[in-house]
Amino acid sequence: MSKKACFLFVNKEYTLDGIRSALGLAVENMYSYGVIMYNEFETISDYHKENIEWVRDMEGDIFTTVDANVEKLGLTKITLEEIGEKLRDMDIIVPYGIMRSDKS
């Protein structure tokens, strides 16, 4: 049975490469998810947009707690409580990179 993994991204400088890691697990036949917390992205490159689309094509998704990312990037909205519930269903949980205290 395919494993389920969820990455949590809390630092802007670590997020887009982290999504590449999430895609890496999707191509390894896992259900792979990511959640972008705190940080807003005005735009992202076509390369990174494609990575998100590939994750979705392989039955994963990239969620965000930030409304602007839903509007500008078309990401799926999720609340903190919903993240917690989702994590309960995961085999692998990846608090990715480093935490930023300023939440910028």
Partner 1 sequence: MKLLNVYRSEPNDDVKKLVEIVSKDRDVVSFDLNVENPDYDKMLDMVFDADQTICWW
Partner 2 sequence: MAKSVGIFVTSPRYMRHVVGITKAAVAKGSKVKVFFSWYSTHLTQCAEFPALCEMENVDVSICADSYKNSGYDVNDVPQGLDAKKMATQAQHGVIIDDYDCYLTL
User: For binding to partner 1 (CB under 8 A), which residues are involved?
Assistant: 10, 37, 80-81, 83-85, 87-88, 91, 93, 95, 97-99, 101
Count Cα atoms within 13 angstroms, Cβ side, for 66: 19
17 touches partner 2 (CB under 8 A): yes
Asked whether position 39 contacts partner 2 by CB under 8 A, the answer is no
Q: What is the smallest separation between the CB atom of 16 and partner 2, expressed in angstroms?
A: 10
Select the residue interacting with partner 2 from 6, 10, 25, 78 (CB under 8 A): 25
Please give the C-alpha separations between residue 8 and each of 15, 30, 89, in angstroms, as whole numbers: 9, 16, 14
Element (H, E) at 86: helix 80-88
